Structure 1
């Protein structure tokens, strides 16, 4: 069966061996997860070297997103980069979809503010989540959190200085992205 083949590959080790790629098994797991009603995190965009980036565009999930809606399952699109605008769009048009920006910021460094601004062009402020997506070294959590804080502070300061936002609005959005959205989900 598909599950037996996957378990045998898993025993060989490595992320490629552990990744579920059988379409039947994948569909079964996705729908089983959706019917729990718990939030379901979907990795989109870049990440592991064994991924095919051309198959990681979150817009490819549109039919699944529509089909899942009646289950009440919240979908969280992780990472998204370089397709973060597509993830932001999906968060804007589907009430049960959220977009996470964490890994994108950690990997874009000095351009993290630009990536965050692009995400916030489309996604409702109450639908954007942040994670460090750090693993391994504890320092990666610190670096991820600092990049997010610096990018968000720079962006919000710029918008307040330009007169586009009030300080109160900037503080509210910072609280949403920094913690409140994640608590709500």
Structure 2
């Protein structure tokens, strides 16, 4: 509680010092008397010359000049994309959707789901067949470069795991092992 009061006192002291150090407008004649019908909540312009002069003329121009190229760049990026961003790989194959007849018949829908599942498993087997030789080459290159034995062993475990998973899938689904 005491620390909060000290912090609050420091903030108030800093605000007071800022208020006293704020540049004052030269003395101007007193504003004309305001009639009772005028809106009393809006101060006359002469009462706030410090606000009308903010920010200083040089600062406003510099801030505006710096913001325009950034805003233009952001707008161009939004419209045309970021030229430094890597390309997004799009899947060219459109996923097959069940027909109305498959959706209506539970047995036909189960057959549709079985075909989709078989496609996923076949894609996994194909990916293992393509990536396993690359992984083995990386392991051999790592050994030649003197990579730590524990890291080589971890990569070999991954390769063995991929081989075991592929073998299990082919054993469970012989049609996929072609």
> Could you tell me the TM-score, scaled by structure 2's length?
0.23
Q: Using CA pairs below 8 Å that are at least 6 residues apart, which structure has the higher relative contact order?
A: 1
Higher Rg: 2
Greater share of strand: 1
Greater share of helix: 2
